[in-house]
Amino acid sequence: NAKVVISQKGRVLHQTNVAAGPFNIQELSSAVNGRLDVRVEEQDGSVQTFSVDTATIPYLTRPGQVRYKLAAGRPSDYSHNVTGPMFSTGEFSWGVSNAWSLYGGSVLSEEYEAFSVGLGRDLFVLGAISADVSQSIANIQNKERTQGKSWRVSYSKHFDEINSDITFAGYRFSESGYLSMGEYLDIRAGNSSMYHNKNLYTVTSSKS
């Protein structure tokens, strides 16, 4: 057997014993990102060291694993009063391989439905990227049914040199009929019109 020690910036995150040959480590938290230093100590005293670059996007999942969330309830307005129809929501992510994840989700209610599907790709030293498409169908009071699609691309990378994460997310609403659930609820409550931005670009930076 060999002893494997995984550390980051001098701090040990995990250590375990593995059998001879190729191995994988599943015990690390999915929140760990950036460059990891791996030290393999063989029984004969020899030592191997190498580094592994990791990246994180919420929808990336380890190979063979499935993550999911389910919820149901009723929305509340800005005064925290419960109002509107019952809804249910769910999302999943399946780790297809070390590099690819398939994910999707839905929101269902009596007057609003939305579905999405996408792919996440671990680019290793270059970061991680994901792309998805969503379809919404909404029945607005006193209006005909409106529907549309939304495309989204997200990129994330951890920069060890400045100990920061930078996430770029670009949203393109090519169809004006697309409504997120929040937009639908605002329109339903009379707090917004049907007109909204077709394109939205955001850049988020966090430093740990």
- Ordered by where they begin, the domains of the chain are 2-53 (2.60.40), 65-207 (no CATH)
* Token duo for residue 10: 């001098």
Regions of the chain where pLDDT drops below 50: none
User: What pLDDT sits at residue 68?
Assistant: 93
Residue 51 CB neighbour total at 10 angstroms: 11
User: What pLDDT sits at residue 74?
Assistant: 92
Q: Are 177 and 151 in contact (CB under 8 A)?
A: no
What is the CA angle 33-36-42, rounded to 5? 145
Q: If you count them, how many residues does the chain have?
A: 208
Q: Are 172 and 184 in contact (CB under 8 A)?
A: no
* Token duo for residue 76: 């509340």
d(C-alpha 38, C-alpha 19), whole Å:
16
User: What pLDDT sits at residue 107?
Assistant: 97
User: What pLDDT sits at residue 87?
Assistant: 95
